[in-house]
Amino acid sequence: MKTRGITEGAMFCALGVILTLVSYYLPFFVLLVFFIPVPMVVLGKRQGLKVSILSSIAATVLIGLFLGPLNAISFGALMLLVGCSLGFAYNRDLSPVKKAFIGILGFSILLIAVVASYEFVMGIGFTSLLFQTLEQSTSEVMTFYQTANIMDAEQLTIASEAMAKNVEMMKLALPSAFLLMPVIFGMINVVVSDMILTRIGYPIKTFTPLSQWEMPGTLKYFLMVLLLGDFIVRMFQLSSIPQIYMVTVMNFVNIIFFVMGLSLMFNYMDYKKITNKGLKVLVVVLSFLLSSIVTILGVAETYIGIRRIFRRESQIK
């Protein structure tokens, strides 16, 4: 191993440890835990798989000294499964889709391992523990309201019913969250790694800009079938299909149309030659606040082709 590889390995090892400790000890920076693989991705691109694996193992040992062996295994697995595999993908200059797939697969394996460790190693049902925590939190909030005399009896009843309904909705949304988490964090790691490596001068194969995304024809018709199926189930109130399945499927359908709605808005901004980054960030923030409207725009764009309409009109003029 070259001296440069040893030096960079030690440097990125230290960076990974620092990110881990900051995300663990400072609650405001807890989201940094999902960026822990990034140093190993950059290191893998620069020095190859062997150096990134050795650096990850060294970082795992150091984390164990600070946080104990269990935490070290969790954070070390994040570096090895996601960081090193993505670093290998970047080193081989794979396509954006393949890099995203590798990142998503790494996070999925890690998530399955966490759930399995609760179920088989600790003997604790992970979902049962999560639901129990939700219900306990709701009970504690209601107890606080009762003892503080903030609400009268009628208001307490309404609040209790609303919280119980929210807990049930969270239970229905749990499978969607489990399936979506690896996708979100895998994509985030790829996008952040692309930005860092591009900034330091590496030619990186990146995704097509969001404004240029178009839905494939096969996916378009498949989603139409799902929408019709959901309409039929709701219309005839078919109880043979568990609600949790319908909620999970429709959550993903809505997310796809939401992304297409965002793509339409960015395409329109490109059409109007709007390049202000602050305005684009504002559009994204408002889109999440008005997600239903953006999703409807995505449906309209998918089946009507709004961007083609306003661009065609501009050509006629």
Taking 80 as the threshold, does the pLDDT of residue 205 lie above it? yes
What is the predicted pLDDT for the residue at 126? 66
User: Which of the pair, 268 or 128, is modelled with greater confidence?
Assistant: 268
Q: What is the mean pLDDT of the chain?
A: 85
What is the predicted pLDDT for the residue at 113? 83
What is the predicted pLDDT for the residue at 299? 93
**pLDDT tens digits, 52-84:** 999 999 999 999 999 888 888 888 988 998 999
Q: pTM of the entire structure?
A: 0.81
Band (pLDDT 50/70/90 cuts) for residue 122 is low
Band (pLDDT 50/70/90 cuts) for residue 314 is low
Return the HEC string of the chain: CCHHHHHHHHHHHHHHHHHHHHHHHCHHHHHHHHHCCHHHHHHHHHHCHHHHHHHHHHHHHHHHHHHCHHHHHHHHHHHHHHHHHHHHHHHCCCCHHHHHHHHHHHHHHHHHHHHHHHHHHCCCCHHHHHHHHHHHHHHHHHHHHHHHCCCCHHHHHHHHHHHHHHHHHHHHHHHHHHHHHHHHHHHHHHHHHHHHHHHCCCCCCCCCCHHHCCCCHHHHHHHHHHHHHHHHHHHHCCCCCCHHHHHHHHHHHHHHHHHHHHHHHHHHHHHCCCCCHHHHHHHHHHHHHCHHHHHHHHHHHHHHCHHHHHHHHHHHC
**pLDDT tens digits, 25-56:** 887 788 888 889 999 999 999 988 899 999 99
Taking 70 as the threshold, does the pLDDT of residue 124 lie above it? no
What is the predicted pLDDT for the residue at 112? 85
What is the predicted pLDDT for the residue at 121? 66
Of 144-153, 181-190, 267-276, give the lowest mean pLDDT range.
144-153
User: Which of the pair, 257 or 240, is modelled with greater confidence?
Assistant: 257
**pLDDT tens digits, 140-176:** 777 777 777 777 777 777 877 887 787 778 777 888 8
